């Protein structure tokens, strides 16, 4: 049909009219906020302020991304000429706060973490160490939750894919946390994680006959992020389970029959039939789970508020904290823009690696 044909033009107008509500929503809730966020990130805009908004260029990004490493040689004992040691035998280094206060170039910097190497202490300083800690916490969460939650979802899908009576009940039970509000789930798990009266610690005490010391979970910086990971995997695994279940039910039975005729064991059928047939489903699950995992916020806001000692602070939580609770809209916008770029780059790299690996196998 010719492009200028009246019927063709009518179909085109109809298509645009049908797409108009979605395009308006896309512009209002995606494109416009992205453009405004990019502009506000270059200003000192505050949520409530009598002062006018000023254009400050890249100052927000400079504060966000500034990072340096200071090397500190140990203090020397004048009498012996050797490194000075304290009462416990540890080498004494100059205080990092004294170094930062003595140099005007480090006025806005704070200590992030320190490590010792090659006879010196090296201290990483940043203008916003909380953002860097949030970025590390977010990456750790994603790295753990994507394979962990995906593996759990696949196991659940394999279980509920059996042709047995009552399977619909189990599918409903496994999926029910997904449709439950995360805020409600977080409140319930707060009681489960209670160090003294929580059901989880009581269970650990019973099965270990009192030999396991119950962890502090949300009040211990060593276990707080792990507690958030366990909660998140339990809550969202049902969504990936449904996707894997659809993929499993789309695998032709003739492939399994051929494998059985060839003498393949159950494990061999899973490895050489099920997994290859689920490849496209797995790619979708990995990419979607990664993007959703980067959005971690509600669990943190309800359970820990980023603590203890910033052990659970995430980029999204830090952006909300700066942008709304401290009313620094310009700085919060800079955080979201940097985070947006990071997520897009990771998603593109992930998609390219998975697709190229598939092409090589074919």
C-alpha closest to that of 145 among 307, 314, 340: 314
Is residue 5 scored above 60 in pLDDT?
yes
% of the chain residues with pLDDT over 70: 96
Determine the structural domain holding residue 74 and report its residue range.
Answer: 67-126
pLDDT surpasses 80 at 179: yes
Q: What is the mean pLDDT of residues 181-206?
A: 90
In a domain, 54, yes or no: no
Evaluate if residue 359 carries a pLDDT over 80: no
Q: Is the pTM of this model over 0.75?
A: yes
Q: Which of 126, 141, 162 is the last residue of a domain?
A: 126
8 φ, ψ (degrees, to nearest 5): -65, -45
Q: Both 95 and 231 in a single domain?
A: no
Contacts of 270 (CB under 8 A, 6+ apart): none
The mean of the pLDDT values for the chain is 88
Residue 309, helix vs strand vs coil: coil
162 and 84 fall within a common domain: no
- Last residue of some domain: 126, 144, 167? 126
Mean pLDDT of all residues in 19-29 = 92
Is 90 exceeded by the pLDDT of residue 188? Answer: yes
CATH code of the domain in which 160 resides: 1.10.3720.10
pLDDT of residue 258: 92
Residue 28, Cβ density class (10 Å: 0-12 exposed, 13-18 middle, ≥19 buried) = exposed
Same domain, yes or no: 87 and 192: no
Does 209 score more than 90 pLDDT?
no
Look at residue 153 and tell me if it is in a domain.
yes
- The encoded tokens of residue 231 equal 């909660």
Query: Over 90: is that where the pLDDT of 79 sits?
Result: no
| Residue 358 placed within a domain | no
Is residue 228 included in any domain, yes or no? Answer: yes
- The predicted pLDDT at position 362 comes to 56
180 and 77 co-located in one domain: no
Residue 215 maps to a domain: yes
Q: What angle do CA 56, 58, 61 make, to 5 degrees?
A: 125
Verify that 321 and 178 share a domain, yes or no.
Answer: yes
Q: Are residues 75 and 166 in the same domain?
A: no
pLDDT score, position 61: 95
| Same domain flag for 105 and 78 | yes
pLDDT tops 60 at residue 357: no
150 and 244 belong to one structural domain: yes
Residue 2 reports pLDDT greater than 60:
no
Q: Are both 205 and 161 inside the same structural domain?
A: yes
Question: Are residues 197 and 257 located together in one domain of the fold?
Answer: yes
pLDDT of 210 higher than 80:
no
Q: Is 101 helix (H, G, I), strand (E, B) or coil?
A: helix
Total domain count for the chain?
2
Q: Do the domain assignments include residue 10?
A: no
Residue 194 counted as domain residue: yes
Query: Does 168 reside within a domain?
Result: yes
Q: Are residues 186 and 109 in the same domain?
A: no
Last residue of a domain, one of 126, 158, 177: 126
What confidence category does residue 21 fall into, taking pLDDT thresholds of 50, 70 and 90?
very high
Whole-angstrom distance, CA of residue 237 vs CA of residue 247: 15
Whole-number Å distance between alpha carbons of 50 and 81? 59
> Which is more confident, 75 or 260?
260
Residue 111 β-bridge partners = 125
262 and 187 belong to one structural domain? yes
E strand or H helix that includes residue 71: strand 67-72
Bridge pairing between strands 67-72 and 120-126: antiparallel
Average pLDDT over residues 186-199: 90
């Amino acid at each position: 049909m010719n492009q200028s044909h009246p019927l063709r033009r009518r179909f085109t107008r109809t298509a645009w009219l049908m797409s108009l509500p979605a395009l308006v929503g896309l512009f209002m809730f995606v494109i416009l906020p992205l453009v405004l966020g990019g502009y506000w990130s270059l200003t000192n805009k505050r949520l409530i302020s009598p002062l006018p908004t000023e254009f400050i260029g890249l100052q927000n990004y400079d504060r966000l991304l500034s990072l340096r490493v200071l090397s500190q040689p140990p203090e020397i004992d004048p009498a012996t000429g050797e490194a000075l040691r304290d009462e416990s035998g540890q080498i004494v280094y100059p205080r990092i706060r004294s170094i930062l206060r003595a140099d005007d170039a480090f006025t806005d910097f704070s200590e992030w973490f320190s490590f010792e190497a090659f006879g010196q202490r090296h201290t990483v300083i940043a203008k916003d160490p909380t953002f860097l800690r949030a970025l590390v916490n977010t990456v750790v969460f994603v790295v753990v939750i994507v394979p962990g939650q995906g593996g759990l979802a696949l196991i659940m899908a394999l279980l509920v894919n059996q042709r047995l009576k009552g399977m619909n009940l189990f599918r409903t039970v496994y999926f029910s946390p997904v449709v439950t509000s995360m805020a409600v789930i977080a409140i319930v798990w707060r009681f489960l994680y209670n160090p003294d009266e929580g059901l989880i610690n009581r269970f650990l005490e019973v099965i270990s006959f009192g030999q396991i010391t119950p962890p502090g979970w949300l009040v211990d910086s060593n276990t707080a992020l792990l507690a958030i990971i366990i909660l998140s995997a339990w809550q969202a695994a049902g969504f990936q389970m449904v996707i894997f279940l659809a993929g499993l039910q789309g695998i032709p039975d003739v492939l399994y029959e051929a494998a059985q005729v060839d003498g393949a064991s159950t494990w061999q059928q899973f490895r050489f039939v099920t997994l290859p047939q689920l490849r496209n489903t797995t790619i979708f699950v990995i990419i979607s789970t990664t993007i959703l995992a980067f959005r971690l916020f509600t669990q943190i806001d309800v359970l820990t508020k980023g603590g203890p000692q910033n052990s659970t602070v995430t980029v999204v939580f830090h952006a909300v904290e700066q942008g709304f609770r401290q009313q620094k809209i310009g700085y919060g916008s800079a955080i979201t823009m940097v985070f947006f770029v990071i997520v897009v780059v990771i998603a593109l790299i992930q998609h390219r690696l998975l697709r190229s690996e598939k092409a090589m196998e074919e």
